[in-house]
Amino acid sequence: MRMPQLTKSALLIVFLAAVASAADITGNWKADLQTPQGTVQVSYSFKQDGETLTGTWQAAQSPVVQISEGKITGDKISFAVKLGEMNFAHEGKISADEIQFAMKPSGEFPGTTVTAKRVK
């Protein structure tokens, strides 16, 4: 049985509207990072252009670092932060004004999870 053209068109419009309404994470975000030395506040500044993500990362008392390899697909986010010889890969899930990240191990850093919240 063939789907009527009107139904196909309606489904396409609903799909495109859902894609278009995906959250844009452009802006500033803050998170508390647990380290062996204690809790450090981390700032993220993101700029999203479609699936491309650029921006910066900064931990308290450290220089601003450009993120690389930034990508957003649906509610999934990934990027890397390089500090000296260590490369901190981030992978996460976006949920409104919160992002849950998993930071992969690098060097002596064992990896951790981080929850970033949008700065309003």
Q: Please write the tens of the pLDDT for every residue from 27-76.
A: 999 999 888 788 999 999 999 999 999 999 999 888 999 999 999 999 99
Of all residues in the chain, the percent with pLDDT exceeding 90 is 58
- Per-residue pLDDT reduced to its tens digit, 73-89: 999 999 999 988 889 99
pLDDT exceeds 70 at position 8 = no
State how beta strands 52-59 and 112-118 pair: unpaired
Amino acid, res. 20: A
pLDDT exceeds 60 at position 22 = no
pTM value is 0.77
| Contact in structure between 27 and 55 (CB atoms under 8 Å) | no
pLDDT exceeds 90 at position 18 = no
Spatial separation of the C-alpha atoms in residues 86 and 42, rounded to whole Å: 17
| CA nearest neighbour of 77 among 120, 12, 31 | 31
Q: Which domains does the chain have, with CATH numbers?
A: 24-118 (2.40.128.120)
Residue 9 C-beta-side C-alpha neighbours within 13 Å:
3
Distances (CA, A) of 27 to 10, 74, 92, 120: 33, 18, 17, 9
